[in-house]
Amino acid sequence: MRMRIRGVPLWGWAAAAALYFGVAAAAVEFVWDRAIDVLAEVGAHRLALYAADLQSELVRHEMIPAIVARQESVRALLSAPPPAPPDLLLTVNTYLEAVNREAGSVAVDVIDLHGSVIAASNWNLPVSFIGTNVSYRPYLGDEQGKRNFLS
């Protein structure tokens, strides 16, 4: 005697269940893949926006080193033997403070060829960068870049 449920053989119910679970699994896989694709698209769009914003900020501050290097008081400070005259330091520090305020940057520094900050826009704050050695920064290893700013 063959087993039947509601008039349908048991193998028919098993086949229907297998088909149901197969279709459900395929639907879940399709929806999952689509969701991942949408997240990737959103992420790529956000990344492009962040990159454009960063590029905009970098371009905005790109000319500051060249402008500062052309200031006579800055040139005099870089040419003066240490220790620099206090009045010259005050002139350069207040100039850097004004440039920083106009540019809206975090800080503007004058760094000697040894990588020491000798003047800074934050000269009058407790967290002043003056005296800090930043020679570990990669852009300070470029001797040609140093000469370009000073000429």
Write out the residue range of the structural domain in which residue 110 sits. Answer: 64-150
Bridge partners, 111 (sequence order): 117
> What pLDDT shows up at residue 119?
96
56 and 68, same domain (yes or no): no
Other Cβ atoms less than 10 A from the Cβ of 9: the count is 12
33 and 96, same domain (yes or no): no
Question: Which of 61, 82, 99 represents a domain boundary (last residue)?
Answer: 61
The pLDDT mean for the chain works out to 88
pLDDT tens per residue, range 83-132:
899 999 999 999 999 999 998 888 999 999 889 999 999 999 999 999 99
Please give the average per-residue pLDDT across 123-143, as a whole number.
Answer: 86
Q: Are 47 and 39 in contact (CB under 8 A)?
A: no
Alpha-carbon distance values, 122 to 30, 73, 103, 126 (Å)? 57, 17, 14, 8
> What pLDDT shows up at residue 120?
96
Number of domains in the chain: 2
45 and 111, same domain (yes or no): no
15 and 46, same domain (yes or no): yes
Residue type, 130: I
Please give the average per-residue pLDDT across 58-76, as a whole number.
Answer: 88
- CATH code (residue 84): 3.30.450.20
In the chain, % of residues over pLDDT 70: 92
Please, which pLDDT band fits residue 66 given cuts at 50, 70 and 90? confident
Q: Is the pLDDT higher at 54 or at 7?
A: 54
pTM: 0.61
80 and 129, same domain (yes or no): yes
Q: Is the pLDDT higher at 6 or at 95?
A: 95
117 and 82, same domain (yes or no): yes
74 and 43, same domain (yes or no): no
Please, which pLDDT band fits residue 151 given cuts at 50, 70 and 90? very low
Please, which pLDDT band fits residue 144 given cuts at 50, 70 and 90? very low
